[in-house]
Amino acid sequence: GQNIDQPTEMTATEGAIVQINCTYQTSGFNGLFWYQQHAGEAPTFLSYNVLDGLEEKGRFSSFLSRSKGYSYLLLKELQMKDSASYLCAVRDPSNSGGYQKVTFGTGTKLQVIP
Partner 1 sequence: DGGITQSPKYLFRKEGQNVTLSCEQNLNHDAMYWYRQDPGQGLRLIYYSQIVNDFQKGDIAEGYSVSREKKESFPLTVTSAQKNPTAFYLCATIEEGSTDTQYFGPGTRLTVL
User: Binding partner 1 by CB under 8 A: which of 11, 94, 106, 111?
Assistant: 106
- Identified binder of partner 1 from the candidate list 42, 51, 58, 81, rule CB under 8 A: 42
CB of 13 to partner 1, least distance (A): 26
Among residues 112, 104, 99, 114, the alpha carbon closest in space to that of 9 is found at 112
For residue 97, the minimal CB distance to partner 1 (Å) is: 7
- E-strand ranges in the chain read 3-5, 9-13, 18-25, 32-37, 44-49, 53-57, 60-65, 70-75, 84-92, 101-104, 108-113
| Amino acid present at 93 | P
Note whether 87 binds partner 1 by CB under 8 A.
yes
Does 111 help bind partner 1 (rule: CB under 8 A)?
no
Coil/strand/helix, residue 90: strand
Binding interface with partner 1 (CB under 8 A): 4, 8, 31, 33, 40-45, 48, 50, 87, 89, 91, 97-107
